[in-house]
Amino acid sequence: MLESAFFWLFGGLAVAASLGVILSRNTMHSVMWLILCFFNAAGLFFLLDAEFLGIILILIYVGAVMVLFMFVVMMLEVNEAVKREGWLQYLPVGGMIAVILFIELVAASTSGLFGSEQMAMAAHMGADVNNTVEIGKELYTRYLLGFEIAAIILLVALIGAIVLTLRERKDAKYQNISKQVHVRKEDRLRKVSM
């Protein structure tokens, strides 16, 4: 009883926060709503006995990814007036895609396949099941290959970001230390006969 109350609380807040993300005009507010949404999603994970995933969600998404989002939003300087320009022009195509997706979602979710009678109620695991250990076992055995590929994807992202953005500035004044050390008296001093 208490559990389902919490489910409705977290689920409802998550949906409301998601609406806030797409409806708020100020991009910074959207980011804030998204943080609220992530907190509630983490709450849902806790209800499913997945404490590890819940904490990871808060640590990584709220702690790192959203902070990055905020930096990006602050650097982008989105112009509100320009953003809303021409939305009528995109409405037919965008609206059509949205309607199709909505119909598909409703059709698929009412097909009975994802109904609660199909899925047995997730039973709570005993206190002796440590889900950090369970995730670790799966991740580093069965999914080891995927884990390694993900690591290489991150490496490529890192190299790519640096290659595409790092610029050596031509106008910056650098110290050439070797040149400074090897300078001789003759280079700097000149005898002038008066």
DSSP conformational letter for 161: H
- DSSP, collapsed to helix, strand or coil, labels residue 118 as coil
- Binding of other proteins by 83 (CB under 8 A): no
Determine contact, residues 98/60, Cβ cutoff 8 Å: no
- Binding of other proteins by 149 (CB under 8 A): yes
What angle separates helix 144-165 from helix 131-140, to the nearest 10 degrees? 80
Report the distance separating Cα 39 and Cα 54, nearest Å.
8
Residue for token pair 């009678």: 117
Stretch that binds other proteins, among 27-35, 63-71, 157-165, 175-183 (CB under 8 A): 157-165
* Residue among 28, 96, 114, 122 that touches other proteins (CB under 8 A): 114
Stretch that binds other proteins, among 2-10, 38-46, 65-73, 161-169 (CB under 8 A): 161-169
Least distance between other proteins and beta carbon 123 (Å) = 17
- Binding of other proteins by 144 (CB under 8 A): yes
- Binding of other proteins by 23 (CB under 8 A): no
Q: What are the residues whose beta carbons fall under 8 Å from the beta carbon of 78, sequence distance 6 or more?
A: 27
* Residue among 141, 178, 180, 193 that touches other proteins (CB under 8 A): 141
- Binding of other proteins by 127 (CB under 8 A): no
* Residue among 163, 172, 181, 194 that touches other proteins (CB under 8 A): 163
> 52 vs 25, 150, 181, CA distance in Å?
34, 20, 56
Residue for token pair 């076992």: 137
Residues found near other proteins in the complex (CB under 8 A): 104, 107-108, 111-114, 130, 133, 136-137, 141-146, 149-150, 152-153, 155-157, 159-160, 162-164
